[in-house]
Amino acid sequence: MLHVVDVCVSFDGRTVLDHVSLHVGGNEVVALLGPSGSGKSTLLRVVAGLQDVSSGVVRWDGTDITQEPTHRRRFGFVFQDEQLFPHRDVAANIGFGLRMAGTDRASVASRVSELLALVGLPGFGERDVTTLSGGEAKRVALARALAPKPRLMLLDEPLTGLDAALHDRLADDLRNLLRQAGLPAILVTHDPAEAARIADRVVHLGDLGSGSR
């Protein structure tokens, strides 16, 4: 259960997040809506530990994790531009988190093929990630984040920049995958329709500030 309490972030004197609080419980999927530049991605990075806060607290199941480094949080993150490791093939990208956790080779291999099947890319393991189409890259990025069985999924505009048909198909797939995994998730998006399609609950970043608390 995630609690973000009274978080402030500023860059070079400009306040990006001003006393923002957010609660994500159980295995609900929360969509975080807001116009671009409103700081929703920053909030996601705060949760992931990729962004230091000026003040405020992030708690997981009651434990303060504000100072916990990213790699110990076990929060999966799907980046807007995927950030697949270009020097590794698809299987090595998906297996990365498992290798970091010290999983043995055989288990990594079986989990990777399991995930490839799950995201609809069976047999893609040895493909070079630079040869993937936009939709395939998104699926690989999702599989990579899911592989180490994270406690929470963070998705930063995961479907932005795809054409309409692909977007809708992936949105449904994403919804089903998150349900299947039974994971809580935060989805950052600027598209209300997408938010409604995927999430259980939709919140507007503007409503999370101190004024409306």
Partner 1 sequence: MDQGRAAVAPARARWALAVVPVLFTALFFLWPLGAIAARGLSLGAIGDVLGDGYTRSVLWFTFWQAAVCSAGAVVVGVLPAYVLARYRVPGRRLLLALVTVPFMLPTVVVGSAFLALLPASMHRTVPAVLLAHVWVNLAVVVRTVGTSVAQMDPRLGDAAATLGASPWQVMRHVTLPLLRPALWASSAVVFLFCFTSFGIVRLVGGPSHPTLEVEIWRRTTQSLDLRTAAALAVVQLVIVVGMTVVWSTAQARTATATAMRTLLRPRRARTAGQRALVWITVPATTAVVLAPLAVMVERSMCTAAGRHSLDAWRAVTGVGRALGTGGTQPVVADPWATVLASLRIALVATCIALVVGTLAACAIAYARRGGRLLDAGLMLPLGTSAVTIGFGLIITYNRGWYDLRGSWVMLPIGQALVAVPFVVRVILPTMRAIQPGLREAAATLGASPWHVWREVDLPVLRRSMGAGAGFAFAISVGEFGASSFLTRVGNETAPIAIGRLIARPSLLNLAQAYALATVLAVVTLVVIVVVDRLRGERGASF
CB within 8 A of 193, min separation 6: which ones?
A: none
Beta-bridge partners for 153: 76, 185
Residue 54 is which amino acid? S
Q: For partner 1, which is the closer residue by CB, 99 or 197?
A: 99
Of the candidate spans 70-78, 169-177, 184-192, 198-206, the one that interacts with partner 1 by CB under 8 A turns out to be: 70-78
The distance of closest approach from Cβ of residue 70 to partner 1 in the complex, given in angstroms and rounded to an integer, is 4
Place of tokens 């984040």: 145
Q: Which is nearer to partner 1, 26 or 102 (CB)?
A: 102
Among residues 39 and 172, whose Cβ is nearest to partner 1? Answer: 39
Cβ atoms 22, 188 nearer than 8 A: no
Binding mask 47-66 for partner 1 (x = CB under 8 A): -xxxxx--------------
Q: How many helices and strands (H and E) does the chain possess? A: 6, 9
Q: How far is CA 119 from CA 94, 148, 176, 196, in A?
A: 11, 15, 10, 21
In whole angstroms, the minimum distance from the beta carbon of 140 to partner 1 comes to 12
Residue 54 CB: number of other CB atoms within 10 A?
A: 13
Two tokens at 162? 């795809």
| Near partner 1 by CB under 8 A: residue from 15, 36, 64, 85 | 85
Q: Which of 34, 148, 158, 184 binds partner 1 (CB under 8 A)?
A: 148
Considering only 2, 22, 75, 205, the residue that binds partner 1 (CB under 8 A) is 75
Q: Mark residues 7-46: x for contact with partner 1 by CB under 8 A, - for none.
A: ----x---------------------------------x-
For residue 152, the SS3 value is strand
Min CB(213)–partner 1 separation in Å: 25
Per the CB < 8 A criterion, the answer to whether 178 and 211 are in contact is no
The residues of the shown chain that bind partner 1, judged by CB under 8 A, are 11, 45, 48-52, 69-77, 79, 81, 83-85, 87, 96-97, 100-101, 144-145, 148, 154
